[in-house]
Amino acid sequence: MAGVLIRMKLTVVKNSMTGGRAAWMLVGALLGLLFAAATIWLSLVELPNREVLGDLLAGVFGMWTLGWLVGPLWGGSAVLRADHFMLLPMPRRRLALGLLGAAFVGITTAVTALGFAGLITYGARQGLAPGLLAVPVAALQLVFVVLLSRVAYALFGVVAASRAGAAVTGVLFAAMLVLTQSGWMIVVAVMYSDILETGFSHPTTVALRAVPSSWGVVAVDAAGRGDWPLAIAAPAGLAALCVLLLLVWSVELGTPRRARATIRGSAGRAPVSGGPLGGTTGAVVRKELRTWWRDPLRTTTAVVPIVWALGTALLPLTFDARLLLPWAGPALALFAITSACNLYSQDGTALWQTLTIGAERADVRGRQWAYLIVFAPPAVALSVAFTWWSGAAWAWPWVAAAVPALLGGGAGLIAHSSVFGLVPGPDAHKRPSNPLERADTTGRSNVLFWVGLVPPAPALAVVYLGTRWDERWLSWAGLPVGVLTGVVVAWVLGGLAIRKLTEDGPDLLHAMRTGRPTVSRAAGGAGVARKGGTVEGLSWGLGSILLIPQGIVPLVFILSDIDVRSWFLAMYVRPLLGVPIAVASMLAGIALYARAVMTRVDDRTGRAGAPAPAGERELESV
Amino acid sequence: MEPATIRHAGAGRADAGGPPAALRLSGLHKTFGTNTAVDHVDLVVPRGSFFGLVGPNGAGKTTSLSMAVGLLRPDEGTAQVFGVDVWSDPVEAKALLGVLPDGLSMPERLTGRELLTYLGQLRGIEAGVLAGRVQDLLDVMELGAAERTLVVDYSTGMRKKIGLATALLHGPRLLVLDEPFEAVDPVSAAALKAILNGFVAGGGSVVLSSHVMPLVEQLCDTVAVMAGGRVVAAGPLAEVRGDGTLEQTFVRLVGGDAHARRGLSWLVS
């Protein structure tokens, strides 16, 4: 049973190891290995205060568990889904055990097992008995996280269809982004504090060790002290939890008893027409606003920028820096561009309606207005509230100049990107509930994040000059300049999108119907595209790491005399050498970004012209 | 496969000098990679006809119809609706057309009434007229009971019906329907047939694709049979089917596989 399921899973994984997916798996495995190595290293570190080490290790195991909770939500559905086997005549508990067996086969489990070996080294330092005890306990801990992840995903699937679930998804997604991009701020904060000498406060320690993911550490510590009742009780508790989770999971595997959360429309009245939103564009605006309100995928799209902006701006408060607070609003407006860059793909083949009516102009303009109506209020509100909270009076003209340019530029960029850079995803009517089933726009979002910084540049330059020459009126002239750039960019890029949609609409529709562009790939192109995808994915990942945490951040630290080493390579040498290392790292990051862009361009042009290999997917129900 | 036995409706026939045909496809051609989906198809749908396009799976029906209505760019050839070229003068052609594609999304997060209202507004239908039409369509399609259900939660049959409603909304002169009766229950199907028959009686033209032969025989006066991307027979129903049924003609033209009819010898209770 489990054997068959494991072989099945391996086959599915093998068949889906293509392009960016394989690249991300590789990057994920490497990062996981790094984290596992760090965990083992931590368990061997000599600290002045022994207690702190246990606490830190418990915290790290907590992070592993959190990763297992969030991972499946981020990475989409499991490879083998229980509903695939619903018609097989077998008891649910057996199916649960079989699927559990299959769940253990995977890179993630292997990497986690390695990380949990840190518990064994930690125990071995305290003596033979704790070391031996740690072996089964670490295994139990692994079973626990795998089961917890399965159960959480099963339960989450129930709520994900609702708008609240979609919002939660957005929050988790944004939190992961903030942690991966700016998590180093927390590390810096811990290193600056004196926690490592004094230890955590007693309530923190108790709370930290009460979490089940810490019970392994508790057991080993107890064994080290010779407190055997506790050393047996903690793993026993963990085992009991595992049994409980297995029971919950096997129940959840059954036919869903709860109805799916359905989002309802408004009752029997026609939508009003006329007013400020009259006309054809107005009809699209009102249609779009209803979609933003009702589609879980749009809810996630809207929530991610807000949480990302909040997280990024609030994180420096951990070391009491209010520096980023005024930039929460602009950050929201900037990240909204990367989040909403694939609007047409989200609606999928519904484009045929627009094409048969010939309403391309109204459609693009309507979407732009709807984007502004959705994102402008929170961006403005956040800007005003947080700038006021920060008490940084100098920030007002900067924020006032940036926000309108970012919003207007965004309205233009999302329209342009949604049409010119359309990434096909699951069709709209085939994803009624799961906001996680969407097209992969990682590469495009990366580009737009930087391109999105261009529209506010003129306005910010004006403010800069105003500050430099100490001319108050000039600083505030940034606001009208920002508004003007925003309007122009939105108008021009929207116009380009309209033209493209009018001319090539059927090709875009075809791309969304079949999941690939109309221009056929070069013969044998599948292999090329796969390789290109891997290169592109790796380039984005490594480029980001080299450019920001290994390039810009250490450079800023060196230039402003902050002495934090953490994992910033350039901080481990003399400042004189650190600067060139940081600069080289930035250049390498930019080069990798360029490489990724070029791979994508090559991929596009390479596909044009020559005929595609036979047997590719065609129009459905031809 | 047998060679084409009947070829009444070709590009050279009809409308020489007379009013243009409702739909005229000339040399439409489309390849996907090395696979030719539609191979230089010529087809004329006369005005006022109820035209059935039949063919096995993969014959190229959906691809042909998608190119005919401007939803898929042909590699070669033209499509004209009442003499208006779909690809060079799309705006005028699209005003004459009502389309129901198969298996495509719609603006999913709207109720049926909202969907029809917004599409009507996009087509520039006057508010008073529009409200009446929307109500009529919802009544006829029996979608009024699901007033608060979003299109994404519609059943397959309901999706067909709301799709047909969007195709009828602006009072087109030619309807192009891809598998309109698939998954529609018999009661609704009867209502749809009545609507379509009334539409043709009132001077409209209908093109529908299907693989249900009895249905095509019952509704259509003109048929074309497609197989392997070509039109293998076309003309008035009586001529195409001759003495037998349409189904017999179809199997003869398209060529059934002996293996497929042999059955599974082990499947006995």
Cite the beta strand spans of B49-172 per DSSP E: 50-54, 76-81, 84-85, 97-100
CA dist A260 and B198 (Å) reads: 40
| Model pLDDT, residue B67 | 92
Dihedral of the alpha carbons of A426, A431, A435, A436, in degrees to the nearest 10: -50
Predicted pLDDT at A513: 84
Please state the rounded mean pLDDT for residues B141-146.
Answer: 84
CA distance A430 to chain B (A): 8
pLDDT at residue A407, as a whole number:
96
Tell me the C-alpha distance between A352 and B163, whole Å. Answer: 11
Least confident piece of the model among A500-509, A597-606, B23-32 = A597-606
- State the average pLDDT over residues A414-425: 89
Residue ranges in A470-614 assigned as alpha helix (H): 472-514, 525-547, 553-559, 575-607
User: Residue B5: is its pLDDT beyond 60?
Assistant: no
Q: Cα separation of A475 and A482, whole Å?
A: 12
Which of A500-509, A563-572, B240-249 is modeled with the greatest confidence? A500-509
A47-61, A232-246, A608-622, B47-61: which has the minimum mean pLDDT? A608-622
CA-based diameter of chain B, in Å?
A: 65
pLDDT-derived band of residue B13, with 50, 70 and 90 as boundaries?
very low
Mutation for testing the A interface, residue in B64, B122, B150 having most A CBs under 10 Å: B122
Q: Would you state the pLDDT for residue B260?
A: 60
CA triplet A34, A39, A42: central angle to 5 degrees? Answer: 120
Contacts of A116 (CB under 8 A, 6+ apart): A39, A61, A64, A138, A139, A141, A142, A216
* Confidence band, pLDDT 50/70/90 cuts, at residue A154: confident
Enclosing H/E stretch for B31: strand B23-32
Q: Which two tokens stand for residue B134?
A: 């929307």
Cβ B107–A353 below 8 Å, yes or no?
Answer: yes
pLDDT band at residue B266 under the 50/70/90 scheme: confident
Per-residue pLDDT at A614: 34
The DSSP output letter for A263 is: P
- The pLDDT, as a whole number, for residue A610 is 35
CB contact under 8 Å between A280 and B147, yes or no, is no
The stretch A111-137 carries a mean pLDDT of: 91
Cα gap A534→A424, rounded to integer Å: 19
Identify which of A265, A282, A618 has the shortest CB distance to residue B110.
A265
pLDDT of A608 reads 39
Q: Which residues from chain B sit within 8 angstroms of residue A297, using beta carbons?
A: none
pLDDT of residue A94: 79
Cβ-based contacts of A262 with chain B (< 8 Å) = 149-150, 153
Extract the tokens encoding A156.
């989450």
Q: Closest residue of B to A356, CA-based?
A: B94
Report whether pLDDT(A578) > 50: yes
Buried b (16+ CB within 10 A) or exposed e, A557-568: bbeeeeeeebeb
Q: How far apart are CA A291 and CA A347, in angstroms?
A: 9
pLDDT digits (tens, 9 = 90+) for A230-280: 999 999 999 999 999 988 888 777 655 554 556 677 655 556 656 666 788
| Distance in angstroms (rounded) separating the CA atoms of residues A405 and A452 | 10
A352: chain B residues, CB-CB within 8 Å: 71, 99, 101, 104
- Could you tell me what percent of chain A has a pLDDT over 70? 76
Q: Give me the long-range contacts of A546-551 (CB less than 8 A, separation at least 24).
A: A546/A585, A546/A586, A546/A588, A546/A589, A546/A592, A547/A585, A547/A586, A547/A589, A547/A590, A547/A592, A547/A593, A548/A181, A548/A589, A549/A184, A550/A582, A550/A585, A550/A589, A551/A582, A551/A583, A551/A585, A551/A586, A551/A587, A551/A588, A551/A589
Distance from C-alpha of A268 to C-alpha of A265, rounded to nearest angstrom: 9
Q: What is the pLDDT of residues A161-210, one digit of tens each?
A: 677 777 877 887 788 778 767 766 766 666 666 666 666 777 778 888 88
Asked whether the beta carbons of A100 and A144 are under 8 A apart, the reply is no
Return the higher-pLDDT residue of A94 and A184.
A94
- Structural domains of chain B in order of their starting residue, each with its CATH number: 23-104+173-255 (3.40.50.300)
How far apart, in Å, are the Cα atoms of B9 and each of A82, A414, B3, B177?
A: 53, 47, 16, 20
Work out the average pLDDT over A447-461: 90
Question: Given 3-state DSSP classes, what are the helix, strand and coil percentages for chain B, each rounded to the nearest 5?
Answer: 40, 25, 40
Range A163-168, long-range pairs (CB < 8 A, 24+ positions): A163/A263, A163/A294, A163/A296, A163/A299, A165/A261, A165/A296, A165/A435, A166/A296, A166/A297, A166/A299, A166/A300, A166/A303, A166/A435, A167/A299, A167/A300, A167/A303
Q: Report CB contact under 8 Å: B114, A265.
A: yes
> Which residues touch B91 (CB under 8 Å, ≥6 apart)?
A358
Is B230 an 8 Å CB contact of chain A? no
Query: At A618, is the pLDDT very low, low, confident or very high (cuts 50, 70, 90)?
Result: very low
- Kindly report, residue by residue over B203-222, the tens digit of the pLDDT: 999 999 988 888 899 999 99
What residue ranges in A318-400 does DSSP mark as E strands? none
Comparing A182-191, A223-232, A489-498, the range with the smallest average pLDDT is A182-191
Q: What pLDDT, on the 0 to 100 scale, is given for residue A179?
A: 73
What pLDDT was estimated at residue A314?
A: 86
- Give residue-wise pLDDT tens across range A272-322: 656 666 788 888 998 899 889 888 888 888 999 999 999 888 887 766 678
Residues 6+ positions from A176 with CB-CB distance below 8 Å? A70, A74
CA distance, residue B98 to nearest chain A CA (Å): 8
Measuring CA to CA, which residue among A71, A95, A97 is closest to residue A82?
A: A95
CB contact under 8 A, B73 and A266: no
Q: Quick check: B21 and B234 in contact, CB under 8 A?
A: no
Average pLDDT over every residue of B190-195: 87
By percentage, how much of chain B surpasses pLDDT 70? 90
Which residues of chain A have a CB within 8 Å of the CB of B109?
Answer: 263, 290-291, 293-295, 298
Average pLDDT score over residue span B213-240: 91
**Do the chains contact at B122 and A518, CB–CB below 8 Å?**
no
For chain A, say whether B263 makes contact (Cβ under 8 Å): no
Interface of B with A in 156-215 (CB under 8 A): 159, 166, 178-179
Closest CA to A99 of A4, A5, A239, A3: A5
Q: How far is B8 from chain A (nearest CA, A)?
A: 24
Q: Between chain A and chain B, how many beta carbons pairs sit less than 8 Å apart?
A: 174
Residues A265, B111: C-beta atoms closer than 8 Å: yes
Which pLDDT score is estimated for B152?
Answer: 84
In whole angstroms, what is the distance from residue A56 CA to residue A34 CA?
17
Residue among B100, B101, B80 nearest B92 (CA) = B80
Cβ-based burial of A409 (10 A; exposed 0-12, middle 13-18, buried ≥19): buried
Helix residue ranges, H only, A104-162:
107-126, 128-160
Among B33, B107, B144, the residue with its CB nearest the CB of A611 is B33
B236 Cβ neighbours under 8 A, 6+ residues apart:
B8, B221, B222, B223
Q: Are A27 and A538 in contact (CB under 8 A)?
A: yes
pLDDT tens, residue by residue, B72-100: 889 999 999 999 999 888 888 888 999 99
Report the C-alpha gap between A612 and A518 in whole angstroms: 10
| Long-range Cβ contact pairs of A270-275 (< 8 A, separation 24 or more) | A270/B113, A270/B114, A270/B117, A270/B131, A270/B134, A271/B113, A271/B114, A271/B117, A271/B118, A273/B117, A273/B121, A273/B127, A274/B127
Predicted pLDDT of residue B251: 84
A-chain residues within 8 Å CB-CB of B149? 262, 264-265
Helix (H/G/I), strand (E/B), else coil: B45: strand
Calpha distance A558→A550 (Å, rounded): 12
| Cα separation, A103 vs A72, whole angstroms | 12
Q: How far apart are CA B199 and CA B196, in angstroms?
A: 5
Q: What pLDDT, on the 0 to 100 scale, is given for residue A494?
A: 95
Decide if A265 and B97 are in contact by the 8 Å CB cutoff: no
Percent of chain A at pLDDT exceeding 90: 29
Q: CA distances (Å), A102 to each of A5, A6, A11, A78, B117, in order?
A: 6, 5, 12, 11, 50
Which token pair is B267?
Answer: 């499947």
10 Å Cβ neighbour count for B199? 20
Confidence class for position A599, pLDDT limits 50, 70, 90: low
- Please determine, for residue A23, whether its predicted confidence score (pLDDT) is greater than 80: no
Copy the structure tokens of residue A345: 């793909």
Among the partner-chain residues A267, A291, A293, the one whose CB lies closest to the CB of B107 is A291
The mean predicted confidence, pLDDT, of chain B is 85
Q: pLDDT tens digits, residue range B29-52?
A: 999 888 889 999 999 999 999 999
Total H helices, total E strands in chain A? 25, 0
A538 burial (CB, 10 Å; 0-12 / 13-18 / 19+) is buried
Looking at the predicted structure, is the pLDDT value of residue A107 above 50?
yes
Judging contacts by C-beta atoms under 8 Å, the chain A residues touching residue B66 are 619
For helices A575-607 and A525-547, the axis angle rounded to 10 degrees is 160
Distances (CA, A) of B18 to A42, B42, B222: 88, 19, 19
Mutate to test the interface with A, among B152, B177, B178 (most CBs of A within 10 A): B152
Instruction: List the single range of A218-227, A524-533, B195-204 with lowest mean pLDDT.
Output: A524-533
Q: Which of residues 76-135 of B touch A (CB under 8 A)?
A: 90-91, 94-95, 97, 99, 101-111, 113-114, 117-119, 121-124, 127, 131, 134
pLDDT digits (tens, 9 = 90+) for B170-188: 999 999 999 888 878 888 8
For testing contact with chain B, the best of A293, A297, A356 (most B CBs within 10 A): A356
> What pLDDT shows up at residue A472?
86
> Residue A47: which residues within 8 A CB-CB, separation 6 or more?
A53, A196
Do A265 and B118 lie within an 8 Å CB cutoff?
no
> Per-residue pLDDT for A531 more than 50?
no
pLDDT of amino acid A387: 93
Record the tokens describing residue A440, joined without a space: 């992969």
How close B89 gets to chain A, by Cα (Å)? 11
CA atoms within a 13 Å half-sphere pointing along the CA-CB vector of A468: 6
